[in-house]
Chain A
Amino acid sequence: GAGVSQSPRYKVAKRGQDVALRCDPISGHVSLFWYQQALGQGPEFLTYFQNEAQLDKSGLPSDRFFAERPEGSVSTLKIQRTQQEDSAVYLCASSSGGRGETQYFGPGTRLLVL
């Protein structure tokens, strides 16, 4: 079956622009995660959805970051008024839920803010 897909794969934004990053999880997966991976570092947790409910957004770096998953499937991560420090790879992962279940990652969106 299809894995996790993300779009766009690459995004260049001018500082101050708004961007929207899309994630299509594996069909039927109830859990969806967003991570941010800065250059040369490991991924860092941003936010978590169980179905359409955003249960943890403790990793979002500022109120410029907003995520939604309105129908419990596709998710969008939105960054308003982008800053240079937002440049990173944004990874989406999904799992079937439950403690210890494997998270399957998409290819990521590489965001460059100029």
Chain B
Amino acid sequence: AQSVAQPEDQVNVAEGNPLTVKCTYSVSGNPYLFWYVQYPNRGLQFLLKYITGDNLVKGSYGFEAEFNKSQTSFHLKKPSALVSDSALYFCASGVSGGYNKLIFGAGTRLAVHP
């Protein structure tokens, strides 16, 4: 079965430090991968995606993610965290042959401390 895993329920980081939120995937064929962020009582906001091409993808608000095919990972990174980055982050993968429907990880709560 195809799946997306986010191994950390929560990530804590000090403001100004680099952050990484981990994601691994298990899908058939060539994956396409997304990161979304969710603030309280709001829907999911798109951050970035990997479809093909350069393994390093840059997205909104200074976030980037690196696609690693050999490790089946798509970790989200930011060089310098802000308190306002504190939110719930979801990794998702498109399903091959599945009309673009997405499979989501369980989410990782990012807490950035001043």
Contacts and interface: CB of A to CB of B under 8 A. Distances in A.
Q: Are the chains A and B members of one assembly? A: yes
Interface of A: 4, 6, 31, 33, 35, 40-45, 48, 50, 55-56, 59, 91, 93, 95, 97-108, 110
B46 A102 contact: yes
B90 A43 contact: yes
Nearest to A9: B41
Contact of B100 (A41, A101, A110): A101
Given A55-B99, A56-B98, A99-B94, A105 B43 contact: yes
Nearest to B4: A42
A97 B51 CA distance: 14
B36 A95 contact: no
12 contacts: A4-B43, A31-B99, A33-B102, A42-B90, A42-B92, A42-B104, A43-B102, A44-B104, A55-B99, A56-B99, A100-B32, A103-B46
Interface of B: 4, 32, 34, 36, 41-46, 49, 51, 90, 92, 94, 98-107
B100 A48 contact: yes
B106 A99 contact: no
B102 A91 contact: no
